[in-house]
Structure 1
Amino acid sequence: MYKKFHLENDINLISHHDLSAQTGQDIPHTPTYSRVSKVRSTLTRLNHQPKKFKLHQEFTHSDLKVNEYQHKTESVKNQTLRHLNIASEVVTKTKRLMPYGAGNQLFNIVSTKGESAIRSYISSYLFEQNPKPEEPIQQIKQIAERAIRFKAGNCDAMEAITFSLLTTQNLSAPILSAFDHDRDHFYTLIGDPKDPTWGTKNTVVVDAWHPFGTVYTLRQASILNPEPDIFFQHPPSTPAPNSIATLFGERPRTVHIAEIDLFAEKQGYPNVGDDLLEYFYETSPPELCRDERVGTKDPSTIYKDNNGVSQTFDEIPIEFLQEQKSTLKTADTFLEQHPKWNF
């Protein structure tokens, strides 16, 4: 459900080379929307730490589609609190690398006027058409590389980036590339819920697929299976593979909007904009895209370690805050007027 965005017709995808050739040049990328423009200015400064705000203080619980803010305290190990902090930084970095967001999240589809969906679809299609490496870690790297070029992706693309970033942290816990069959959803875990050292209480979920980035323990996840399938495991206290370590130092060419529109035109789809958004609404089954804005039961949950240090993990950098507030109004207005997607 969550790995791919559906387009009705099977297609012969135009290759990246053909797209560049038909536009006449390898065009430098120019963002199409204000949110993307602001975020892109930070892509070469992934370690920049702007002022942050708390989601539960800036948005109502209904804005985030959660039941209520209870401000409950969850006791965790010291190490778990550290992992939550690292996970929060990784989710923010992933969102800066993927400014168009997920191709099957209604919030992102509406806010980018369909661009997140069509970028994600082309990226996924190209991955499926190309030979896949035998080693899982190289498959993850390949997905992450393509996602970074397209600046959008579904849960598998988001997970490839978060997993790759985490392997560079030399954590003393296993890093798991997890798949939930019930949800058809990929995400990363720090710790192992089957290992009593961690359990669901001290295993951290790292999932940048949701439009509003939060991190949380598996025990506090809203609807995830506590025993997911594991696609790949990076051992604790192990350096990242060389191919992953160099991944984020590279500056791959970004696919330009002119190339995306050229692809759409050749397949008979509208260009990115209101017409493309309406096309998706009319032709795509609603169950293939979701409006899940956070992955935790309650963003106001307070995590407290053995030393009494406590904090919530629903921070939003100032660079995203005003854009998300503006996008929230646009998305909710669209959903009110389009009942098939408003569920």
Structure 2
Amino acid sequence: MEQHLGFRRGEEVDGLLTLHTPAELGHTVYVREAGGFWPAAGGTGTLHHVAFRAADADHEQAILKAVTAQGLQASDVREHGYFQSIYFTEPGGSILEVATDGPGFGADEDPAHLGERLVLPPELEHRQGEIEVVMPHISLPDEERRPSRDLGWVHRYVPGTSGRTLLLLHGTGGNELDLLPLGRELDPGAHLLSVRGRSLEEGAPRFFRRFSATRYDQAHLISEADALADFVRDAAQLYGLDAKQVYAVGYSNGANIALATLLQQPGALAGAALLRPVLALEAPPSPDLSGKRVLVLSGERDPYGPYGQGIVPLLQRSSAAVSETRLPAGHELTQTDVNLTREWLTE
């Protein structure tokens, strides 16, 4: 570092060496000599590399030439769009990067509006929608709306352009991110409201407790179905959604809570797409579901399939408009599920 990166040795206190450079940022590095360990290697809890700034491309080239001449393993100059870098391995095995400042983020954005939109490399631009929906959600402080934003459920809201909202409900072990790409594929213009189940089974999120693979805690199931209906109403008010156009899309355990919510609180949903559902309610009510559209997609090889056989007759007795398809599949989802659900939503 002293020889190639422009740092100068400072004082050493208790084995901690201080290195300085006149740069405005990143001007001090502290190095502790720690011998007796095996060489640096990647893995959980370790740093991949440490980056330093080069004044310009010529300075970077000079460093590359110097470290190569010294016999250190170094990369070629790598172009990252907003800057270019070289990487080399110091004698202890750690990777050091030297990067230029330019051309900077103003290369393809107005500097006055940086960070207002997601900019992707050209090779990923065709996946813009898929990537955006799983990006971490960042909210600016909003004193009027912030106190009720969690609504009692961990969730993700992704705004859309149409009047419809898809309530996305994951399967056992999933979370609020799992079905976001599916939701965007099903309806590119819909608002997406994706919810994480509040029951944990050996650390795996579910929407209600169970006693066995096919026996469920009825009181908890009904309570969570009612709570989910309240969440939908509150979320519609918070995010300005049309509460009459919320359609549930649930897979497996998510399909089961969607069905229970539709039966317990039919006013909360306009309809539901149930992907690999079972009838979890032991004494299901028979509400008036006139005007409610329901899609049921089951798998012919699904081991849980027999436990869902009573769903369609129950919905038909409740006057729901039911569409059912049995697919040559197991419990897993297929592209046919995606295609049929998309077609059903556009009917």
- TM-score after normalising by structure 1: 0.24
Return the index of the structure with the highest Cα Rg: 2
Tell me which protein shows more helix as a share of its residues. Answer: 1
Tell me which protein shows more strand as a share of its residues. Answer: 2
